[in-house]
Amino acid sequence: MIDNQTVQYIAGLSRLRVQDQDSSRFARDLEVILHYVRQLEELDVKDVPATSHVLNIQNVFRKDEIAPSLTQEQALSFAIEKNSGHYIVPKVIE
């Protein structure tokens, strides 16, 4: 059962903030969807292998060669705040 507390817990894991007044709306939506997807419990899948990928290819590697790519400057050109080749974020360690 998804209650407001669960919504707040999942929101935290998801790095989302859900306002208290929206919790019950999200709780109801998630509960309806989870109730629907629980129909998968009808199936016996004990011996069925999982599919994570539909193509029969594995371990795709590229040659370790230098190819054209973004410079550090280009990669950082979209940064919201930067300094001397670094992203700037609020203080992490208190």
Partner 1 sequence: MKLYDQTAQKLKELIASGDISPQAIQQAVEERARAINPRTNAFLRFYDLPCTQHGSFRLPIGLKDNLSVKNQLVGCASRILEGYRAPYDAHVVERLLESGAILQGALNMDEFAFGSSTETSAFGSARNPWDTERVPGGSSGGSAAAVAAGQTIWALGSDTGGSIRQPASFCGIVGLKPTYGRISRYGLVAFGSSLDQIGPLTKDVTDSALLLNIISGFDPKDSTSANCPVPDYTQALTREIKGLRIGIPREYFIDGIQPEVLNAVQSAVKLLEKAGAQVKDISLAHTKYAVATYYILATAEASSNLARFDGVKYGRRAQSRSSGRPAIIDLYETTREQGFGDEAKRRIMLGTYVLSSGYYDAFYLRAQKVRTLIKKDFEQAFNEVDVIVSPTAPTTAFRLGEKINDPLSMYLSDIFTIPANLAGIPAISLPCGFDSNQMPVGLQMMASPFAEETLLRTAFAYEQATPWHTERARL
> H or E element: which one contains 31?
helix 20-37
Q: Which of 1, 13, 21, 64 binds partner 1 (CB under 8 A)?
A: 13
Q: Is 80 in the site for partner 1 (CB under 8 A)?
A: yes
Q: Which of 20, 57, 64, 83 binds partner 1 (CB under 8 A)?
A: 57
Residues between 21 and 40 that touch partner 1 (CB under 8 A): 26, 29-30, 32-34, 36-40
Spatial neighbors of 88 by CB under 8 A, at least 6 apart, are 79, 81, 82
Give the three-class secondary structure for 87. Answer: strand
Number of H helices, E strands in the chain: 3, 2
Cβ atoms within 10 Å of 23's Cβ, excluding its own: 18
Contact set with partner 1 (CB under 8 A): 7, 10-11, 13-18, 26, 29-30, 32-34, 36-41, 43, 45, 48-55, 57, 60, 62, 70, 74-75, 77-81, 87, 89-92, 94
